[in-house]
Amino acid sequence: MEGPPCQRCGSAATRFLKLVAGGQLASVALCAACAGNSLLAAPLPATAAGLALAIPLPKGRGRCPACGFRWADFERQQRLGCPSCYQAHADDALELVARHQPELAHKGRRPGTPVAPLQRELEGLRPAPAEPPRPDAATLESRLAAAVQAEDYEAAARLRDALAELRRTRTGSGGNG
């Protein structure tokens, strides 16, 4: 009784390969000549048997289709290769962003946008060129706190000096400051 035929040349098969890939069993029957030629020339038994196996790439091993940049290159250089890399490595980039900041959407002021409310507030802190009526200490203190919070340190310094001058004049005239 003769065994199954060689799947390449049809002669009697003497070598049998069974491979499990992706949950599927693949069997290949080859004669000694076909097995010797293909097994020695191929790097993997599956390629020697002529099986096309879909081997998934490990996470982060894909390349950008435009420039060939890999995620491993980003991890080493801390920059991407081209604009297409942002799409090619989107999953890895989003995972990295999620580890460093709580939300993916930006919240807050963006550079270059007008800050009209802050500008209006700062305009109120700048001294007028004419001699205005002198504010009381509580007004100066609240303006000083607002200037410090707005990080307008020049206005804060002027308000600090004005507050010190006001306290000095009140102390000299018998008032309590």
pLDDT in tens, the chain (177 residues): 567 888 888 888 888 878 776 677 778 888 888 877 766 566 666 666 666 656 555 555 678 888 888 888 888 888 888 888 888 888 888 787 777 776 666 666 666 655 565 566 556 555 555 566 677 888 889 999 999 999 899 999 999 999 898 888 887 765 444
**pTM of the shown model:** 0.29
Indicate whether 100 and 139 sit together in one domain.
no
Indicate whether 146 and 122 sit together in one domain.
yes
Indicate whether 51 and 63 sit together in one domain.
no
Indicate whether 166 and 123 sit together in one domain.
yes
Phi, psi at residue 43, to the nearest 5°? -75, -25
Determine the residue type at 120.
R
On whether residue 111 sits in a domain, the answer given is no
| Dist CA 143 CA 127 (whole Å) | 11
On whether residue 84 sits in a domain, the answer given is yes
Domain boundary among 104, 131, 163: 104
pLDDT at 177: 44
On whether residue 177 sits in a domain, the answer given is no
Determine the residue type at 67.
C
What lies within 8 Å, CB to CB, of 149 at 6+ separation is none
In the chain, DSSP finds a helix count (H) and a strand count (E) of 8, 2
Phi, psi at residue 94, to the nearest 5°? -65, -35
- Give the residue numbers spanning the domain of 139: 116-172
Q: Hey, is 28 helix, strand or coil? A: strand
Q: Hey, is 46 helix, strand or coil? A: helix
On whether residue 109 sits in a domain, the answer given is no
CB 28 within 8 Å of CB 4:
no
Indicate whether 94 and 131 sit together in one domain.
no
Domains in the chain: how many in total? 3
Indicate whether 78 and 50 sit together in one domain.
no
CB 30 within 8 Å of CB 15:
yes
